[in-house]
Structure 1
Amino acid sequence: MFFLIASVFHPKKSYFEIVKKRVQQLLIPYFLWSFMFFLFWLFLGRKYGESAALELSPVKNFMGVFYAQGDVEYMNWGIPMWFLPSIFLTFLIFWLIKKIIQNKKVKFLIIIISVFMGFLIPRFTNIKLFWSLDVSLIFYTFGYYTKNYLFFNNWKGEKISLFILGILHLIFSLFLLQEVDMYRFKYENEFLFIINALVGVLFWCNFYKTSTLFNHSI
């Protein structure tokens, strides 16, 4: 959901100033907070709780500030921080694709290939790409090209689609539930993961719009 929401704010025009702005908004805060978290962990945090029993390497955890990947072995000081560099890199790749490639078919082909590679690499290798490069492009792309439907435009069949999506979302959540952890590359069945995630996004976005319209009509 976070990647999808971030794509809604992707700029329509490809100015380099936009990239500089994203660096200021995402990367600078990431490195500032990550260094502070690491120093706290180095001098205090790693001596208590689960960290004390793991005997983790300070060198690897320092590398984790730049790698932004590797679970507790590299980011015991703050695993949730992985999202910031990941969303920046996703933005940058999508920005470059839109800026450099004008042909829409080629553009979509490259995005599709990138998504497939993101799922195949962790399935068949132990390689973990830096900044979690392989986990987010599909949702960012989906959000960008459907944002008007998801968040802005009102459709005549919205209530019917909300009911259908709600049933599908309930079925998927109850009967197709699987362990998913994007950061650790756990998807079980990648196809079901994508379908379930997109159905859930469509349902909650439609639910929000329908609820907002209802409140405005009262």
Structure 2
Amino acid sequence: MSDVAEQKSSSSRIAWIDNLRAFGMLSIVLVHTGRLDSALDLYVASFCMPLFFFISGLFVKESIRQQTFIDYVKTRVQRLLIPYFSFSIFSYFLWFFVIGKIKGDVLPANPVLHFFSNIIYGVGGGEWLDYNTTLWFFPCLFITELLFFFLIRLPSHKTLGLALFGLSVIGYFLFKVVWIDNFRLPFGADIALTAVVFYGVGYLVKPYILNESFKVWYQWPILLLATLAYIVFSNLNEESAFIIGNFGKNYFYFYLAALSGILFWAQISRLTKPNKLFTEIGKNTLVIFPLHLLLFPFFTGVLVFVFKVPKSSLDHSNIVALAYTILSVLILIPIAWGLNLYVPFLLGYNSHKKKVNQ
């Protein structure tokens, strides 16, 4: 394996991090097809959403310590909420006029109220954000980053670690004990109590994981241990669903499965040679994540109504899930190029600046 300098492209991207983003993104798309074997669902669900909060934490800048809260909020509104509103508007119109009719969904009697109540409340799962449930991630990450703005000001990493542990307990048992009848806080603030733990862990391990020691320090024993822990604790915890605060049946199993899964895929990403496809997926998760779910009804419609494929044959098929995933990525990467080139402000970027590479 080449060193870090060789693993960076001309735009200073870290190739293995793009690999890691790509593995995470492909895992999420596979699960969202709804056609993946349930045994595989178990392993994907245990790590994929914690992974993206973890990666976000890896790239926290120390300069936020010097920012005022108002200035920080402004930057996060631009980077997260503008894309959230942009994709929400597009998703809603596409769902209301096309996708909802294809799927046979019950359309709201008052679409304006339905849209604004969903976008303002900003949580996923159940009937919330039913026009594109993936959008929950943007407001939840927004709240997560606001929480971390205060946490990073704690006097030491030890204090920060203790605070994260406390939040991990509160976030887990909030859904186990307190919340009833599917009650949720706006913008996923309740989920953010757990999300910020992975975000904070990413920040704390950044000095170790973004250097060569992570790759060479007992690489194979660590990979073996991570693999065993990932498999064992994912099975012990049973299937989780981060979006609705279902973290499985055991606090320790949940965190051990998630962290070992992240470590496993980080090691696999280190061992995977940089390639153009994974780099493009890693660069464009901001577009692939919120749009992939909108493509699946069209794929199904073409197969069922054009090629006369029985709809029942598309269910619970790993091959169909893989095909949907590959098609989604191949379609959305060029769309991401176009959005970045012509309307970067919709993605939260200043139009006069190139996309920030993390």
**TM-score under structure 2 length normalisation:** 0.52
Partner of 1:69, secondary structure, is coil
**1:146 is aligned to 2:196:** no
Identity, % of aligned positions: 27
Aligned residues: 210
Structure 2 counterparts to residues 91-106 of structure 1, below 5 A: 91-99=145-153, 101-102=154-155, 104-106=157-159
Cα 1:27/1:75, change in 2 over 3 Å? same
> Stretches of 4+ moved more than 3 A in 1?
16-19, 39-48, 54-58, 103-110, 170-173, 210-213
The C-alpha deviation readout for 1:87-115, integer Å capped at 9, x for no partner, is 1211111012223x335554444333322
SS at 2:84's partner residue?
helix
* Structure 1 pair 158–44 and aligned structure 2 pair: CA distance change class (3 A): closer
Residue 10 of structure 1: aligned partner: 60
Structure 1 208/46 Cα, relative in aligned 2: closer, same or farther at 3 Å?
A: closer
> What does residue 115 of structure 1 align with?
168
| Equivalent of 1:25 in 56, 79, 84 | 79
The alpha carbon displacement at 1:192 in A equals 0.8
Letter in 1 for 2:210: F
Task: Give per-residue Cα distances to partners, 1:2-31, cap 9 Å, x unaligned.
Answer: 111111111112224454333211111111
- Alignment partner of 1:183 is 2:233: no
Structure 2 counterparts to residues 139-218 of structure 1, below 5 A = 139-154=198-213, 155-173=216-234, 175-176=235-236, 178-189=238-249, 190-211=251-272
Alignment of 1:75-86 (within 5 A): 75-86=129-140
Amino acid paired to 1:131: F
Q: Deviations over 1:81-138 (max 9, x none)?
A: 1111111211111012223x33555444433332222222222222312222233111
| Partner Cα distance (1:9, 1:209) in 2 | 18
Deviations 1:18-50 (A, max 9, x none): 543332111111112212322333445444424
- Structure 2 vs 1, CA of residues 167 and 70 (structure 1 numbering), >3 Å: closer, same or farther? closer
- 1:51 alignment partner, SS class: coil
Q: Which runs of 5+ in 2 are unaligned?
A: 1-50, 275-358
Say which is worse superposed, 74-83 or 115-124, in terms of deviation.
115-124
Q: Which moved more, 1:1-10 or 1:200-209?
A: 200-209
**Offset, 1:140:** 0.7
TM-score by length of 1: 0.82
Return closer, same or farther for 1:95/1:42 CA change in 2, 3 Å cut-off: same
CA 1:182–1:56 in structure 2 vs 1: closer, same or farther (change >3 Å)?
farther
- Structure with greater contact order relative to length (CA < 8 Å, sep ≥ 6): 2
